Amino acid sequence: MTRTLVDNIGLLVTNDSSFDGTPLGLLRNAAFLIEKGSITWVGESASAPRAEAQNKIDAHGRCIIPGFVDSHTHLIFAGDRSDEFGARMRGEQYSAGGIGYTVELTRKASNGQLLQSGRRLIAEANSSGTTTIECKSGYGLTVDDEARQLVVAKQLTPETTFLGAHIVPKEYFDHPDDYVELVCGPMLEAAKPNAKWIDVFCDKGAFTPEQSRKILKAGIAKGLLPRIHANQFGPGEGVQIGVELDAASVDHVTYLSDSDIDLLSESETIATLLPAAEFSTRSNYSDARRLFEAGVKVALATDCNPGSSYTTNMPFVIAIAVRDLYFSPEQAVWAATKGGAMALRRKDVGHLGLSASADFSILSTPSYVHLAYRPGVPLIDEVWRNGNRIK
């Protein structure tokens, strides 16, 4: 049985508070042992079980962090919306309707084309340190197209989400409740074999609270786990619905009332912030300090999509969160790793404690702080998943 020792780590972020009493669980001059893709020992380098290791990875004093967990993406699509982005930068305001253009292109694309595009984006994400990623449908909006998006997505990740309720497609503009019935019935049945989660865009220009609750309950009844887009464009009932239905995560949540925050603080639902969307749309950022002060658990994700957040780069998201959402570097790194894992209700990723999957990145720097301190600089030297190097 092959064991690998990762040694000579200048600073190790474990996200296991038992090591130092902080959320990041920092260890200096550290090492850890990998066996069968999982971590079986963690501690100071001086005490490392070197005799048990057949292989050794020398970190040369660099910082190691857990692999990023990107818990919110829309990777299965065709084309791009660079013209829309350029127009927005000249003063046009983003609205949910822009999704319709991507729907048209995606419906025309073959499964092979969608898979090739998805693999390209996954490779991008891996290269910047992401080792676990969620992927939604939502650019098909017909029974067949939503089902095949999820067939493609499942070839990329086990964290697949049925998002037939992304927007109301143009053919249903005059009778949106009929589309809700389609989502809750035939579309859900077709999507279910390849979906783990169900999601709905509960916001202005998308689905009403009543429609959103109905869609999520239909998915739950079929065995899917709920999550929800909420409060991106303004206040609403999305957080209330998410907490009521024990959603793993409420996402975007740019506009939160005090009562929303109280609900989140008393629940197991994670608040997932997507600041690259605000960056790319020149929209208002949320102030994460309100969430942290209330004890809400927070995740960060890319929201990678072709319209409002065309990035796969989690270090970029961390930098925005620190600069513009008032995260500390420590809060941002935790939210991009352990927070993302909690938003997917995963206990095997997002940390480097005992029994965790050996998913980690070796930085080119002595500290994780550089991820925000040096924005835009490629600081991820190596990426490992399940104990295997992928970069």
Give the pLDDT score at 93: 64
Of residues 330, 336, 331, the one with CA closest to residue 361: 336
User: Which residue do the tokens 């783990």 mark?
Assistant: 196
3-state class of 279 per DSSP? Answer: helix
> What number of H helices and E strands is found in the chain?
15, 17
What is the CATH code of the structural domain delimited by 68-343? 3.20.20.140
Task: Average the pLDDT over 52-80 and give the result.
Answer: 97
3-state class of 389 per DSSP? Answer: strand
* 334-358 confidence digits (pLDDT tens): 999 999 999 999 999 999 999 999 9
CA distance 377 to 56: 28
Strands, E assignment, 203-289: 225-226, 228-230, 249-252, 270-273
In which band, very low, low, confident or very high, does the pLDDT at 94 lie, cut at 50, 70 and 90? low
Q: Where exactly does CATH 2.30.40.10 map onto the chain?
A: 3-67+351-389
Q: What are phi and psi of 111, to 5 degrees?
A: -60, -40
Q: Where exactly does CATH 3.20.20.140 map onto the chain?
A: 68-343
Q: What is the mean pLDDT of the chain?
A: 96
Q: Which residue pairs, CB below 8 angstroms and at least 24 apart, start in 108-116?
A: 108/78, 109/78, 111/148, 111/151, 111/152, 113/78, 114/76, 114/77, 114/78, 114/148, 114/149, 114/152, 115/152, 115/155, 115/156
CA distance 330 to 295: 15
pLDDT higher than 70, residue 105:
yes
In which band, very low, low, confident or very high, does the pLDDT at 164 lie, cut at 50, 70 and 90? very high
In which band, very low, low, confident or very high, does the pLDDT at 95 lie, cut at 50, 70 and 90? low
CATH topology for 3-67+351-389 is Urease, subunit C; domain 1 (2.30.40)
Task: Write down the pTM of the prediction.
Answer: 0.97
